[in-house]
Amino acid sequence: MNTSNLTHLNPHQKAWLILASAVKVGAGKWLDAIDKLHLDAIEITKMHGEGNLQNPKLAELCQHINLQLVLRAEQWLAQSRSHHVVTITCEHYPRLLKQLKNPPLILFVLGNVTLLNAPQVAIVGSRNSSFQGRDIAQGFAEQLVNHGVVVTSGLATGIDASAHKGAMIQNAGTIAVMGTGPDKVYPTKNTALHQDIISANGACITEFFPGVTANPWHFPRRNRIIAVMTLGTLVVEAKIKSGTLITANLAADMGREVFAVPGSISHAYSEGCHWLIQQGAKLVTCVDDIFDEIAVQPYAYLGKDNNISEKSEVNNLATDKLLDSVDYDITAIDVIAQRCNMPVQQAMAELLEYELRGLVAAIPGGYVKLRGK
């Protein structure tokens, strides 16, 4: 179904939107009624509008239709050409989502709808993540999109945000699945990230109607979408009891691959990853470990010729003594200066160039080398 008509809903979109507005009715009930009664969404909404509902079960379902939500959705759709309503019969609807027992009847999409059926890998993890965890998530995301895989996550702080940012480094699209309506960003501190994703040819999607704010029960629903519409889920830092492990378990239950990054046995945020590995998740240390398992032929988004000079310059920097003197753990500036046999001020001045290139990061206590650099 074409979604190019952006100023108003076509009849099919309107019909599915009306059915979806019955938020207390599981999508599976509508799909079952359509199948058993040999009706389509347009016929049901027409009968509802005319008050001609002779089937008692159908009448019961239609009691929950909320036309105020439909109006709100129409108003949101008309606000921007980047706003889309994708129904379960639309060509852009994620095919993998239809494997759910109760797939969303509609998705509200901000940005690039063509990404929804691209091969995707989810990167998820703790909100209260470590610097190293965020760096690892960003590095994996950058490598995945560079091989033609869309990175999908949940727009949360910590690992999720780092995954989205890593995907955008290569100017490639990333998908953020929201636990709110399309006009509400949670957490609010990620409002700028939300806009960046849309501007960078990515997409922010949700099954919740415009105006719906964050509620705790929304996020397990969001997590099931992340788990099912992707080919695999990569977990980077997670506690044993966390929404991240819910996502991973959902992915496993749906036959998707689950990957986990190992960490320190003394770090609480590694416990979830280690538990997943014990349960059969694949331990990964590089992006090739993921491609060993998922049926995606990686290909580069960026032409190799366009990057030869830049990569050569970075590689030359990456082999010098100053960069080698910085560890992946916190390295004090006086230690770096001593290793390089140079004054502290000179070392700090030269390290600034590495910061600008994304090779190291200055943090309280010294510097850390960024993973994979």
State the Cα–Cα distance between residues 269 and 136, nearest whole angstrom.
13
E strands, the chain, where?
83-87, 106-111, 120-125, 150-153, 174-177, 203-206, 232-236, 257-260, 282-283, 360-363, 366-369
| Nearest CA among 266, 255, 276 for reference residue 125 | 276
Query: Which pLDDT score is estimated for 25?
Result: 95
**Amino acid of residue 318:** A
Locate 265 and state its tokens.
């046995």
SS3 of 63-122: the string is: CCCCHHHHHHHHHHHCCCCCEEEEECCCCCCCHHHHHCCCCCCEEEEEECHHHHHCCEEE
**Amino acid of residue 320:** D
Q: Any residues with CB less than 8 A from the CB of 88 and at least 6 apart, and which?
A: 16, 27, 98, 103, 104, 105, 106
Tell me if residue 371 falls in helix, strand or coil.
coil
State the Cα–Cα distance between residues 373 and 136, nearest whole angstrom.
11
Query: Which pLDDT score is estimated for 300?
Result: 39
Which structural domains are found in the chain, ordered by start?
A: 11-80 (no CATH), 114-291 (3.40.50.450), 304-369 (1.10.10)
- All residue ranges of the chain with pLDDT < 50 are 1-7, 298-319, 373
Query: Which pLDDT score is estimated for 77?
Result: 94
State the Cα–Cα distance between residues 111 and 191, nearest whole angstrom.
15
Q: Are the beta carbons of 221 and 154 closer than 8 angstroms? A: no
Q: What is the pLDDT of residues 95-134, one digit of tens each?
A: 999 999 899 999 999 999 999 999 999 999 999 999 999 9
State the Cα–Cα distance between residues 6 and 9, nearest whole angstrom.
7
The single-letter DSSP state of residue 331 is B
Query: Which pLDDT score is estimated for 322?
Result: 86
Query: Which pLDDT score is estimated for 371?
Result: 58
Locate 105 and state its tokens.
């009847």
Query: Which pLDDT score is estimated for 15?
Result: 95
Please give the C-alpha separations between residue 255 and each of 144, 207, 281, 294, 327, in angstroms, as whole numbers. Answer: 21, 23, 12, 12, 38
Query: Which pLDDT score is estimated for 312?
Result: 34
Q: What are phi and psi of 232, to 5 degrees?
A: -165, 160
Q: What is the pLDDT of residues 209-258, one digit of tens each?
A: 999 999 998 999 999 999 999 999 999 999 888 889 989 999 999 889 99
Answering whether pTM is above 0.95, one says no
Q: Any residues with CB less than 8 A from the CB of 40 and at least 6 apart, and which?
A: 15, 34
| Nearest CA among 360, 362, 361, 349 for reference residue 317 | 360
- Give counts: helices (H), strands (E), the chain: 16, 11
250 conformational bin, left if phi > 0, alpha if psi -120 to 50, beta if neither? alpha
